[in-house]
Amino acid sequence: MTNIKGVLFDFSGTLLRIEPAESWLRAALATCGTAMADAEIARAAAALERAGALPGATSPAEIPAALADLWQIRDRDARHHRAVYTGLARQVPLPDPALYDALYDRHMTAAAWQPYPDAAEVLAELHRRGTRAGLVSNIGWDLRPVLRGHGLDRYLDVCVLSYEHGIQKPDPQLFALACRELGLDPSGVLMVGDDRKADGGATALGCSFLPVDHLPVDRRPDGLRPVLDLVG
């Protein structure tokens, strides 16, 4: 891979990881001024996680029939994305109806995300080397403020988000768009991501692919560092 001239990264599970479901729920409760006992919070958080209601965390154990079609295209449109995830959250009874939107809104904040320990270091080194870098994400909202909140935006030349183009990975069109914005032929681009199907779809275009594990940040301190060995 010595011909690699640019790197594209996935967002969730690759550069950053979403907070645990319990802290997510506690933040929404604080926003709404709603109280729940600690034991109730723990039970509700676990149920929300099983329901797949926290974007960027685990997929639903079971997708309700009414949401099944929308689930497949959730990352192509901001309204679809919100409808799916608030719908999944509503499978879990909560004391205040306002909590469902508050939960969704919380996950779009910088405070809800934590960069992997080596993310800034790797991005900064690519920038120092003059290597073009970008982000390609299946997502239904603008994650740029999250990147800015963690100081990562300064290292990225390109940000391609599925909902802004109505295309989602693994469709090669999304990767082709990102490569064009990088100004590079796909053969000179490395895609880095935690989803071997979605992110690995870049290989159909001729990109190289480096998989990483979607682990808690304290269990993956240096998963991104191999990128630096692959880029000339």
Query: Which domains are present in the chain?
Result: 6-17+114-230 (3.40.50.1000), 18-111 (no CATH)
- Which residues lie closer than 8 Å to 107 by C-beta, 6 or more apart? 18, 24, 54, 55, 56, 85
The pTM of the full predicted model, rounded to 2 decimals, is 0.96
pLDDT of residue 2: 59
| Conformational region of residue 206, where left means phi above 0, alpha means psi within -120 to 50, and beta covers everything else | left
Q: Angle at the Cα of 11 (from 230 to 111), degrees rounded to 5?
A: 130
Asked whether the beta carbons of 208 and 190 are under 8 A apart, the reply is yes
- Angle between helices 98-106 and 78-89 in degrees, nearest 10: 120
Contact 186, 176 (CB under 8 A): yes
Which ranges in the chain belong to alpha helices (H)?
Answer: 21-32, 38-51, 68-72, 78-89, 98-106, 119-129, 144-149, 162-165, 172-182, 226-230
pLDDT for position 81: 98
Q: How far apart (Å, rounded) are the C-alpha atoms in residues 136 and 94?
A: 34
N- to C-terminal Cα separation, the chain: 8
One pLDDT digit (tens) per residue for the chain, 232 residues: 559 999 999 999 999 999 999 999 999 999 999 999 999 999 999 999 999 999 999 999 999 999 999 999 999 999 999 999 999 999 999 999 999 999 999 999 999 999 999 999 999 999 999 999 999 999 999 999 999 999 999 999 999 999 999 999 999 999 999 999 999 999 999 999 999 999 999 999 999 999 999 999 999 999 999 999 999 7
